[in-house]
């Protein structure tokens, strides 16, 4: 079904669909260069490659089409399998929060308040108490954690749900990266001790990093958020941070929060201390979430001027087989023989569990088909024509680097899976090389803004003080104009802290190295990664 749906947008009109008639068709490809107008490029790629459709009825909402839901499904399967092994079970809490219960948790809710969508009517009747659509589920779930957790033997309690949440953003929205509704998984767990809770925070962070690195071929830096950037209601936040080379911006990948006892105190979630009879203790909680944002990050990092470039492990179509070398003069028996061989080839690939599509559309030249599937990001193209048949080979072209070659027909079922894994690895390595070469460890303040302007993120000695962080943000604003996410020019934003990397560079001497902010004067506590960011 996929190629049929693809074709229409590519063909640009109904007349192209007329079977058995060779009509000239031109690809409605990506019209701008990624480097020249990144935001328009992104918008074209996500729509023309059929990842999303803009929802015209309500701004800030997007339809996720099969090409993106496939990726999300692969992520869900991968992550669910691993969290299940950790003892995490699935749950489904209601979509709504009542205004009354929200009032009790004002501190937590404050941050979300401006973005809450309020249901005030059902049918034509006003609700007695309005209800808000969940922006996240702490306040929905934790009253029940208090009910369900009655003994230390009810711990750990590990639940997650896959659902959508609504945050009615006032800011400019962007598909995947900032939408008023998005899909995510949210995990909420409770533990007896701080140590057990923190162990899980990092296990989950490692799974999030795995989603990026192993599935999406996107390198991330693992670390801890500063006070300014952590989840407001929590104790500390771990994060994996990505990097978009095209504009040099950092982007938060996914976060796993140690909530400490803040929420268990707010919601009165306690158990009797198993070591001190009669005494009660508040449980230690975590929450962690990964959203469809990951897809946007993947698109931005791997895509090129031809369109999408998909890592093989999450590509709905991993290999497209295109018959070539057929002309009006080709004899029917040659044509039939080719069709048969192509189907054998596809069957062999499917036998090796390779997601394979054969493009047998009439009325389109091989060149058109090549460009169409390149735009859609299919990792590997196989071409098969009479000449290949003679030589008992199939020709291939890699989407990621354009490399071409041939594979003996007899080895297709074994060679193609190897080649796909090689593509996966090469895509990761390329992105990793790019990120590591744009992550500059700096000891001189003067180099900071020029480094940002040259599309880098920086790692600098920092005191970790919130006020100093605000100052740094302010000082690093630049008059240099950049294109904003809305496509309009704007002055460059200041940098904010992305994370305190767990893997610290060398050279920071405790009690000696100063915070890099020249007007600070405090000692540096750690190397902190800063950058302009999404």
Please list every residue from 5 through 44 that binds its own copies, using CB under 8 A.
5, 7-8, 11, 13-14, 16-19
Give whichever of 101 and 513 is closer to its own copies, judged by the CB atom. 101
For its own copies, the binding residue among 46, 131, 254, 342 (CB under 8 A) is 131
Q: What angle do CA 488, 490, 494 make, to 5 degrees?
A: 140
Instruction: Kindly state whether residue 157 participates in binding its own copies, applying the rule CB under 8 A.
Output: yes
Contact of 406 with 391, CB cutoff 8 Å: yes
Least separation in angstroms between residue 7's CB and its own copies is 6
Instruction: Kindly state whether residue 123 participates in binding its own copies, applying the rule CB under 8 A.
Output: yes
Lay out the site mask for its own copies across 226-265 (x = CB under 8 A, - = otherwise): ----------------------------------------
Least separation in angstroms between residue 46's CB and its own copies is 14
Give whichever of 223 and 289 is closer to its own copies, judged by the CB atom. 289
Structure tokens at 165: 């949440």
Region from 158-166, 260-268, 304-312, 510-518 binding its own copies, contact rule CB under 8 A: 158-166
Place of tokens 């990505």: 242
Residues 69-88 that bind its own copies (CB under 8 A): 69-70, 72-73, 87
What is the SS3 assignment for 466? Answer: helix
Q: What angle do CA 396, 401, 407 make, to 5 degrees?
A: 20
Contact of 529 with 457, CB cutoff 8 Å: yes
Least separation in angstroms between residue 175's CB and its own copies is 12
For its own copies, the binding residue among 23, 33, 35, 63 (CB under 8 A) is 63
Least separation in angstroms between residue 349's CB and its own copies is 18
Instruction: Kindly state whether residue 328 participates in binding its own copies, applying the rule CB under 8 A.
Output: no
Give whichever of 104 and 522 is closer to its own copies, judged by the CB atom. 104
Give whichever of 97 and 348 is closer to its own copies, judged by the CB atom. 97
Region from 3-11, 367-375, 397-405, 437-445 binding its own copies, contact rule CB under 8 A: 3-11
How would DSSP label each residue in 496-527?
EEEEEESSPPS---TTTSBPSSTTT-SBP-EE
Least separation in angstroms between residue 15's CB and its own copies is 9
Give whichever of 87 and 367 is closer to its own copies, judged by the CB atom. 87
Instruction: Kindly state whether residue 181 participates in binding its own copies, applying the rule CB under 8 A.
Output: yes
What is the SS3 assignment for 184? Answer: strand
- Of 63, 1, 2, the closest CA to residue 310 belongs to 2
Instruction: Kindly state whether residue 66 participates in binding its own copies, applying the rule CB under 8 A.
Output: yes
- Of 502, 463, 464, the closest CA to residue 223 belongs to 502
* Cα 346 from Cα 335, distance rounded (Å): 17
Least separation in angstroms between residue 50's CB and its own copies is 9
Residues 337-366 that bind its own copies (CB under 8 A): 361
Least separation in angstroms between residue 190's CB and its own copies is 11
* Cα 202 from Cα 326, distance rounded (Å): 56
Residues 92-111 that bind its own copies (CB under 8 A): 92-98, 100-101
Give whichever of 114 and 505 is closer to its own copies, judged by the CB atom. 114
Region from 29-37, 121-129, 199-207, 446-454 binding its own copies, contact rule CB under 8 A: 121-129
- First-residue to last-residue Cα distance in the chain: 35
Instruction: Kindly state whether residue 124 participates in binding its own copies, applying the rule CB under 8 A.
Output: yes
CA dihedral for 230, 231, 235, 238, sign (positive or negative): negative
Structure tokens at 258: 């140690």
How would DSSP label each residue in 172-183?
PPBTTTB-SEEE
Give whichever of 156 and 303 is closer to its own copies, judged by the CB atom. 156
Structure tokens at 14: 């109904």
Least separation in angstroms between residue 496's CB and its own copies is 24
Region from 116-124, 192-200, 230-238, 462-470 binding its own copies, contact rule CB under 8 A: 116-124
Least separation in angstroms between residue 267's CB and its own copies is 13
* Cα 429 from Cα 426, distance rounded (Å): 5
Instruction: Kindly state whether residue 378 participates in binding its own copies, applying the rule CB under 8 A.
Output: no
Q: Determine whether 436 is exposed, middle or buried from the number of CB atoms within 10 Å of its CB (0-12, 13-18, 19+).
A: exposed
For its own copies, the binding residue among 111, 274, 408, 491 (CB under 8 A) is 274
Q: What angle do CA 270, 275, 281 make, to 5 degrees?
A: 20
Instruction: Kindly state whether residue 122 participates in binding its own copies, applying the rule CB under 8 A.
Output: yes
- Cα dist. 278→107, 267, 356, 427 in Å? 31, 20, 63, 57
For its own copies, the binding residue among 22, 26, 148, 337 (CB under 8 A) is 148
Contact of 499 with 225, CB cutoff 8 Å: yes
Contact of 404 with 370, CB cutoff 8 Å: no
Structure tokens at 331: 């004899």
Region from 65-73, 283-291, 416-424, 503-511 binding its own copies, contact rule CB under 8 A: 65-73
Instruction: Kindly state whether residue 115 participates in binding its own copies, applying the rule CB under 8 A.
Output: yes
**Between β-strands 380-384 and 356-358, what pairing exists: parallel, antiparallel or unpaired?**
unpaired
| Those residues with Cβ within 8 angstroms of residue 13's Cβ, 6 or more apart along the chain or in another chain | none
Give whichever of 32 and 117 is closer to its own copies, judged by the CB atom. 117
Region from 67-75, 232-240, 330-338, 449-457 binding its own copies, contact rule CB under 8 A: 67-75
Place of tokens 């919130």: 466
Instruction: Kindly state whether residue 214 participates in binding its own copies, applying the rule CB under 8 A.
Output: no
- Cα dist. 67→28, 34, 50, 444 in Å? 18, 21, 6, 45
Residues 402-431 that bind its own copies (CB under 8 A): none
How many residues touch its own copies under the rule CB under 8 A: the total is 83
């Amino acid at each position: 079904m996929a190629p049929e749906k693809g074709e229409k947008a590519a063909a640009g009109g109904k007349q192209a669909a007329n079977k058995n008639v060779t009509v000239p068709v031109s690809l409605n490809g990506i019209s701008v260069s990624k480097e020249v107008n990144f935001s328009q490029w992104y918008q074209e790629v996500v729509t023309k490659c059929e990842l999303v459709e803009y929802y015209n009825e309500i701004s800030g909402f997007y339809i996720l089409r099969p090409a993106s839901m496939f990726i999300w499904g692969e992520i869900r399967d991968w992550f669910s399998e691993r969290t299940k092994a950790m003892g995490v079970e699935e749950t489904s809490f209601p979509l709504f929060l009542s205004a009354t219960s929200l009032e009790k948790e004002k501190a937590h809710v404050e941050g979300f308040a401006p973005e809450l969508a309020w249901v005030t009517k059902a049918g034509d009747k006003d609700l007695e108490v309005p209800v808000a659509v969940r922006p996240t589920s702490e306040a929905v779930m934790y009253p029940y954690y208090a009910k369900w957790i009655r003994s230390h033997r009810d711990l750990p309690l590990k639940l997650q749900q896959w659902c959508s949440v609504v945050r009615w953003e006032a800011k400019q929205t962007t598909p995947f990266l900032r939408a008023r509704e998005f899909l995510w998984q949210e995990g909420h767990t409770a533990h007896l001790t701080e140590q057990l809770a923190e162990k899980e925070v990092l296990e989950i962070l490692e799974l999030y990093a795995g989603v990026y690195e192993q599935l999406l071929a996107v390198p991330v830096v693992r670390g801890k958020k500063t006070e300014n950037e952590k989840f407001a209601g929590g104790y500390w936040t771990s994060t994996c941070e990505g990097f978009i080379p095209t504009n040099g911006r950092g982007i938060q990948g996914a976060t796993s929060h140690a909530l400490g006892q803040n929420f268990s105190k707010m919601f009165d979630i306690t158990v009797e201390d198993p070591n001190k009879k009669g005494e009660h203790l508040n449980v230690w909680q975590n929450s962690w979430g990964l959203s469809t944002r990951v897809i946007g990050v993947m698109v931005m990092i791997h895509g090129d001027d031809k369109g999408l470039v998909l890592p093989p492990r999450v590509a709905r179509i991993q290999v497209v087989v295109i018959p070539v070398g057929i002309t009006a003069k080709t004899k029917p028996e040659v044509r039939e023989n080719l069709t048969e061989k192509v189907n054998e080839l596809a069957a062999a690939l499917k036998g090796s569990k390779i997601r394979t599509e054969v493009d047998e559309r009439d009325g389109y030249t091989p060149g058109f088909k090549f460009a169409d599937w390149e735009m859609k990001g299919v990792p590997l193209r196989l071409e098969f024509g009479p000449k290949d048949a003679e030589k008992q080979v199939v020709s291939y072209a890699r989407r990621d680097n354009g490399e071409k070659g041939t594979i003996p027909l007899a080895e297709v079922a074994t060679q193609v899976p190897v080649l796909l894994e090689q593509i996966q690895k090469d895509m990761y390595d390329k992105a990793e090389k790019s990120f590591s070469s744009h992550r500059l460890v700096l000891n001189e303040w003067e180099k900071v803004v020029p480094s940002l302007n040259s599309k880098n993120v920086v790692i600098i000695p920092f005191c970790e003080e919130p006020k100093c962080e605000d100052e740094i943000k302010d000082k690093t604003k630049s008059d240099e104009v950049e294109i904003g996410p809305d496509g309009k020019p704007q002055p460059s934003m200041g940098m904010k802290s992305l994370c305190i990397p767990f893997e610290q560079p060398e050279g920071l001497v405790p009690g000696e190295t100063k915070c890099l902010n020249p007007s600070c004067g405090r000692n540096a506590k750690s190397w902190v990664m800063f950058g302009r960011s999404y």
